[in-house]
Structure 1
Amino acid sequence: MKIKTNFLLIGLTAMLLTACSTSVERLDVAEQVDLSGAWNDTDSQLVAQEMIEDSLSRAWISNFHKEQGKSPAVIVGKVRNLSHEHINTNTFVADMERELINSGDVQFVASSGTREEIRAEREDQDLNASEATRKEMGQEYGADFMMQGQINTIIDVDGKTQVRFYQVNLEMVSLKDNRKVWVGQKKIKKLIKNSKLTY
């Protein structure tokens, strides 16, 4: 009887451990997965791609080519998160930077944080590097335009059903005279039905 009871206890313990275990499945990074309805990697990539494509197809870039005879230099500034949820805007900015650089239509200037680190390195070189390999101060390439914007949301909830509306506004501004040369907008609407809905 004792042996039977022990086997039963071992079996129950194994079942409990199996039920509480964590399951991990590796996914293709290109696969679209939306678990909670919140802003995710798919939203970030799709919005960045569509908005950069739109911005590069507008008149401001061809006008600059005609006037200056070269590609404009662009920098991505801040994208403010004005939504109700935590959104890592750094990944969204990185997605936009990748799309801009890989387009080949613009020259791209490093962000302010990156520039500070590089300037510190140049200062160090000024004191410690040989004359032949030292990089001089004052040779930076200035940006012609800055892209900046914001992410907004509107939430509509009824019981266990929720509609999340995202609106991303971006604009391209001339650093020379503060003219807005392009304004873009992308909207995303998601219907979420969940027995444990939170917002």
Structure 2
Amino acid sequence: MRKLFAILALGCSLCMVACSSGGKTVSRIDETSTTDLSGKWNDTDSRLVADEMILSCLKSAKIEKVIGEMGKTPTVVIGKVRNKSHEHISVETFIKDMERALLNSGAVDFVANSRERAELRTEVADQQGNATEETAKELNQETGADWMLTGTINTIVDQEGGQAVIFYQVDLELTDLQSHKKLWMGDKKIKKFISKDSVKL
């Protein structure tokens, strides 16, 4: 009897483990691989759009001409990128992808955005009364940006039954902070077709 109870107890334990996992299988994949499970905006879209649009901006004839006339490396800051689409999009991730593309290009210098600057200023102010004179950073010594990059993400959804087409359009603008002149405008379009039993967007 004791053996029978032991076997039953072991079987119940294994059943509980199997049921709690829900039959889920998890496997690691390459972070640069293209995965598109839902058809919605994802990390691949963010990375590819950022890389392509930053390259398009910095390689445009207008920007190359302006950089040549400046005689120095311009400093860029990223302003607001507004999500006007129908879905939740991690704008912060897209901004970071653009920051990385800008830094890695070597064509421009780059400064922290307004939120990051506020945090940095708090730290510098704190150093004035707490850090040694030799190591404390000075106030009012920031590098001002020459240009600001701003943008929007929009979508158009065409849905019928179990099929849908999602059209994404990302618009970016590069503006001179002194003159407020538009130096560059670019857009990137993505269209995705989704077909399944029940489409929920």
TM, length-normalised to structure 1: 0.90
Q: Where in structure 2 are the equivalents of 1:160-199 lying within 5 Å?
A: 160-199=162-201
The question of whether the paired residues in 1 share the 8 Å contact of 2:150 and 2:174 is answered with yes
The question of whether the paired residues in 2 share the 8 Å contact of 1:72 and 1:144 is answered with yes
Provide the secondary structure at the position in 1 that maps to 2:126: helix
The question of whether the paired residues in 2 share the 8 Å contact of 1:168 and 1:186 is answered with yes
**Structure 2: which 5+ residue stretches go unaligned?**
none
Q: Is 168-177 or 123-132 further displaced after alignment?
A: 123-132
Percent same amino acid among aligned pairs?
Answer: 49
**Structure 1: which 5+ residue stretches go unaligned?**
none
Match of 2:144 among 142, 145, 151: 142
Structure 2 counterpart of 1:92: 94
Structure 1 counterpart of 2:123: 121
Provide the secondary structure at the position in 1 that maps to 2:173: strand
Amino acid in structure 2 at the alignment position of 1:61: I
1:18, distance to aligned residue in structure 2 (A): 8.4
Q: Where in structure 2 are the equivalents of 1:13-162 lying within 5 Å?
A: 13=15, 17=19, 20-162=22-164
User: How far apart, CA to CA, are the structure 2 residues paired with 1:150 and 1:69?
Assistant: 31
Going from structure 1 to structure 2, the CA distance change for 1:124 and 1:158 (only over 3 Å counts) comes to: same
1:67-104 residue CA offsets vs partner (Å, 9 max, x unmatched): 22111100111110000000010000000000000100
Aligned length: 195
Amino acid in structure 2 at the alignment position of 1:193: S
Cα RMSD of the aligned pairs, angstroms, is 2.3
User: How far apart, CA to CA, are the structure 2 residues paired with 1:29 and 1:185?
Assistant: 26
User: How far apart, CA to CA, are the structure 2 residues paired with 1:136 and 1:96?
Assistant: 29
1:132, distance to aligned residue in structure 2 (A): 1.3
User: How far apart, CA to CA, are the structure 2 residues paired with 1:16 and 1:196?
Assistant: 28
TM, length-normalised to structure 2: 0.89
Provide the secondary structure at the position in 1 that maps to 2:138: coil
1:128, distance to aligned residue in structure 2 (A): 1.4
Q: Is 12-21 or 70-79 further displaced after alignment?
A: 12-21
Q: Is 187-196 or 15-24 further displaced after alignment?
A: 15-24
Going from structure 1 to structure 2, the CA distance change for 1:20 and 1:70 (only over 3 Å counts) comes to: same
